[in-house]
């Protein structure tokens, strides 16, 4: 990825532009404010600027050296005609105020040195603009004063200087707002692209995998989107391999189950024919042990085949309303002879009122058969099995050493795997508590439990 297309570079450029805009903006605003004023200044403006106005007044006063009162008064009249908006007066060498024209304030009729100093102090750099000039080249012929509104002096750009600071502040505020907006727009775009990627991860296709996304750019997020698409492609390939392997495994188990049933049936038939010929007690016990192993292998083959069908969603499933009291008593009656032969004390508790569960009856029978078969296999030492039906649960309990203990008849747990798959597919729940004092397996029906709570 080229570094110039990265998000980091783009945002650094945004920050760099924000930093540079201030030193660039100040002279630019100055040019915008002052240059037009300088360009539109009238060359024949009667007042000119501060310097030219002050110079003109000093020259006029110096030119009156040795003039009489009448001549000075006449010169003031001419100056007033030249500057009609100005106020002016003159004070003679005795300190007496002579001719006054448009003076905006009250002035002394006779001036002392203190009055002159106070006047100069009050009008220094004030508005109106005040110029005091001595008549003649010396300081002993009096002085004359002119006052003019500052707005009438200087070019238009100078008049704008009062609002120059406000313009700068407003420009800085605009720059800040623009920077905030661009930053928000930048991160909003990044946020949208991340949200789009998140939604692609969340919304999955029919095969359970996320949909690929169209790369939106060549920056870091664009690279992330490309990596995401590569991951989805790898997952699709992996899922395809898993499905092929799963189908192969199921086909292998199904074929193996079919191939093993035939020799087991033949062996059982041969043993049945050979049984009458065996007369010794030792031989009979050996035949009985072989038959038990054949039964175990037959059950194991059936369970393997059932798991293959269940995981492939091909096991027949027909849920219906089943009266559980009748069902539990029927299954218990089928197993009663087996437990009696093994010396078990079998206790079955059902309800007096009818109880209906929406389940597949054959699946429930297969579940109970697997659990009761485990009792025979693991709990023969306890010699007890209890089956208890309650409105929202069915419990199978024994007093054996526990299913976690090592046992010579311990299998691969295939029967419990079938129980787990069938229970979940029927939307039931189950839990097992096993220890040295026995094992208790409880199958719960949440739907009945909710109805009872209501």
Mean pLDDT value across residues 20-25: 69
- Helices (H), strands (E): how many in the chain? 12, 11
d(CA 253, CA 304): 7
Under the banding of pLDDT at 50, 70 and 90, the label for residue 158 is low
Q: What confidence tens digit (pLDDT) does each residue in 271-294 have?
A: 777 777 777 888 777 877 787 777
Q: Which of 103, 128, 154 is the last residue of a domain?
A: 154
Q: Which of 192, 211, 239 is the last residue of a domain?
A: 192
CATH number where 67 lies: 3.30.450
Statement to judge: residues 30 and 176 lie in one domain: yes
Statement to judge: residues 36 and 56 lie in one domain: no
Is residue 135 in a domain? yes
Statement to judge: residues 148 and 167 lie in one domain: no
Statement to judge: residues 355 and 434 lie in one domain: yes
Statement to judge: residues 109 and 179 lie in one domain: no
Q: What confidence tens digit (pLDDT) does each residue in 421-433 have?
A: 899 999 999 999 9
Statement to judge: residues 79 and 134 lie in one domain: yes
Is residue 168 in a domain? yes
Domain count, the chain: 3
Is residue 384 in a domain? yes
Q: Which element (helix H / strand E) includes 311?
A: helix 281-311
Q: Please determine, for residue 299, whether its predicted confidence score (pLDDT) is greater than 80.
A: no
69-82 vs 50-62: helix crossing angle, rounded to 10:
160
Lowest mean pLDDT across 223-237, 315-329, 419-433: 223-237
Statement to judge: residues 426 and 357 lie in one domain: yes
Structural domain span for residue 355:
318-453
Is residue 332 in a domain? yes
Percent of the chain scored above 70 by pLDDT?
82
Statement to judge: residues 169 and 122 lie in one domain: no
Is residue 181 in a domain? yes
Is residue 358 in a domain? yes
Is residue 277 in a domain? no
Statement to judge: residues 10 and 139 lie in one domain: no
For residue 212, give the DSSP letter: P
Statement to judge: residues 176 and 30 lie in one domain: yes
Q: Please determine, for residue 234, whether its predicted confidence score (pLDDT) is greater than 60.
A: yes
Which are the contacts of 422, defined by CB distance < 8 A and separation ≥ 6? 310, 360, 363, 366, 367
For residue 215, give the DSSP letter: -
Lowest mean pLDDT across 248-252, 316-320, 409-413: 409-413
pLDDT at 3: 56
3-state secondary structure of 345: strand
Q: List own/partner pairs for 122-129 with CB under 8 A and 24 or more apart.
A: 123/147, 128/87, 128/104, 129/50, 129/53, 129/153
d(CA 225, CA 244): 29
CATH number where 329 lies: 3.30.565.10
Statement to judge: residues 31 and 171 lie in one domain: yes
Q: Which residues pair with 433 in a beta bridge?
A: 440
Q: What confidence tens digit (pLDDT) does each residue in 57-88 have?
A: 999 988 888 888 898 889 999 999 988 989 99
Statement to judge: residues 417 and 388 lie in one domain: yes
Q: What confidence tens digit (pLDDT) does each residue in 104-137 have?
A: 788 888 988 888 888 888 888 888 889 999 988 8
Is residue 249 in a domain? no
């Amino acid at each position: 990825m080229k570094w110039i297309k990265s998000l980091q570079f783009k945002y650094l450029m945004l920050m760099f532009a924000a930093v540079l805009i201030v030193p660039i903006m100040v002279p630019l605003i100055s040019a915008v404010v002052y240059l037009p004023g300088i360009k539109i200044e009238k060359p024949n403006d009667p007042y000119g600027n501060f310097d030219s106005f002050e110079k003109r007044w000093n020259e006029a006063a110096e030119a009156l050296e040795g003039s009489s009162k009448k001549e000075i008064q006449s010169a003031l009249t001419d100056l007033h005609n030249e500057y009609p908006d100005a106020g002016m007066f003159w004070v003679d060498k005795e300190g007496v105020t002579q001719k006054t024209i448009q003076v905006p304030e009250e002035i002394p009729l006779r001036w002392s040195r203190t009055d002159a100093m106070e006047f100069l102090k009050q009008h220094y750099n004030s508005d109106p603009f005040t110029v005091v000039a001595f008549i003649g080249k010396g300081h002993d012929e009096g002085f004359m004063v002119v006052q003019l509104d500052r707005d009438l002096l200087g070019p238009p750009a100078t008049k704008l200087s009062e609002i120059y600071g406000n313009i700068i502040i407003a420009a800085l505020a605009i720059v800040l707002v623009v920077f905030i907006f661009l930053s928000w727009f930048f991160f909003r775009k990044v946020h949208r692209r991340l949200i789009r990627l998140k939604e692609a991860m969340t919304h999955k296709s029919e095969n359970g995998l996320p949909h690929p996304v169209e790369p939106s750019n060549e920056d870091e997020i664009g690279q992330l989107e490309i990596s995401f698409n590569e991951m989805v492609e790898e997952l699709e390939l992996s899922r395809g391999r898993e499905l092929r392997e799963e189908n192969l495994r199921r086909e292998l188990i199904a074929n193996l189950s079919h191939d093993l049933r035939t020799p087991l049936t033949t062996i059982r038939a041969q043993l049945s024919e050979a049984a009458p010929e065996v007369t010794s007690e030792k031989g009979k016990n050996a035949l009985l042990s072989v038959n038990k192993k054949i039964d175990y292998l037959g059950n194991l083959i059936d369970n393997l085949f059932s798991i293959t069908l269940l995981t492939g969603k091909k096991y027949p499933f027909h849920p219906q309303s089943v009266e559980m009291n009748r069902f539990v008593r029927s299954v218990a009656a089928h197993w009663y002879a087996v437990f009696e032969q093994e010396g078990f004390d079998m206790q079955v508790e059902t309800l007096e009122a009818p109880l209906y569960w929406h389940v597949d009856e054959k699946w429930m029978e297969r579940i109970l058969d697997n659990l009761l078969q485990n009792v025979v296999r693991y709990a023969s030492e306890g010699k007890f099995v209890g089956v208890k039906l309650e409105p929202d649960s069915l419990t199978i309990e024994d007093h054996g050493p526990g299913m976690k203990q090592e046992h010579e008849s311990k299998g691969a747990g295939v029967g419990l795997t079938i129980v787990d798959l069938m229970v979940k597919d029927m939307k039931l729940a189950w839990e097992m508590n096993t220890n040295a004092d026995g094992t208790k397996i409880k199958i719960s029906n949440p739907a009945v439990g909710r109805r009872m709570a209501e």
